[in-house]
Amino acid sequence: MTAVSTAGIGVHVRAMTPTPAQAQADFRALLNALSRPGVLDAVGRADGPPALTVAAGLADVEVPTAVLTDSGDEHWARALHLATSAPVAPPEAARMVVALRPPTAAEIAAMRRGDALHPEHGTRLIAAVTTLGEEGVGLALRGPGVPGTRRLRVAGLPRAVFAALAEANAGFPAGIDTFLVAGDGTVAGLPRSTRIEIENGDD
């Protein structure tokens, strides 16, 4: 085993684990973000990736979880599973997917969506992004929790990701609930009930 997977892994576990008080505050922020699609909120800053801190507050032994990482960042996946006891699962079988690198359209298409009788079986996606609100792909959001149309700009994910999410959520109430988490802790929610229209952005 490598140094990261033995002596060093505890450092990464501590870096991404929120305090109980912070976990409660983060949970309230996530509920607000999901109930008001496209409205920005914020979660607490830690020493690890903010998306992982969000996941650490939501995962437990009953939540099969997949972590998508770039090569060399696998230690963050190990740290999350150690910190939360969440079972390791492939993305297509996970109840929660944490994307520290952009997921592909094919990966999103393969994620669990639940069905009309059991929409709660759909995947919860926590996706790391670069920034929210200033640049990147422009989205027009409509649906419950959105008065008319709300616009959101997301940097760090390609258009194909949002096209795949729109397709995955076309069969509401089945679908994928998504949290977008920027590097500064800013967070936005895209629940499965939200209709996503891509207005601009790079492929």
Task: Give 23-61 pLDDT, tens digit per residue.
Answer: 889 999 999 999 999 999 999 877 778 999 899 888 899
- Assign residue 20 a region (left: φ > 0; alpha: ψ between -120 and 50; beta: otherwise): alpha
182 exposed, middle or buried (CB, 10 Å; 0-12, 13-18, 19+)? buried
Whether 137 shows a pLDDT value over 70: the answer reads yes
Task: Specify the pLDDT at position 1.
Answer: 36
How far is Cα 78 from Cα 85, in angstroms, rounded to an integer? 10
| Banded model confidence at residue 2, pLDDT cuts 50, 70, 90 | very low
Architecture field, domain 9-200: 3-Layer(aba) Sandwich (3.40)
How far is Cα 60 from Cα 126, in angstroms, rounded to an integer? 15
Give the pTM.
0.90
Q: Domain residue spans in the chain?
A: 9-200
Task: Specify the pLDDT at position 21.
Answer: 85
Q: Give the percent of the chain with pLDDT over 70.
A: 94
Q: What is the pLDDT of residues 122-134, one digit of tens each?
A: 999 999 999 999 8
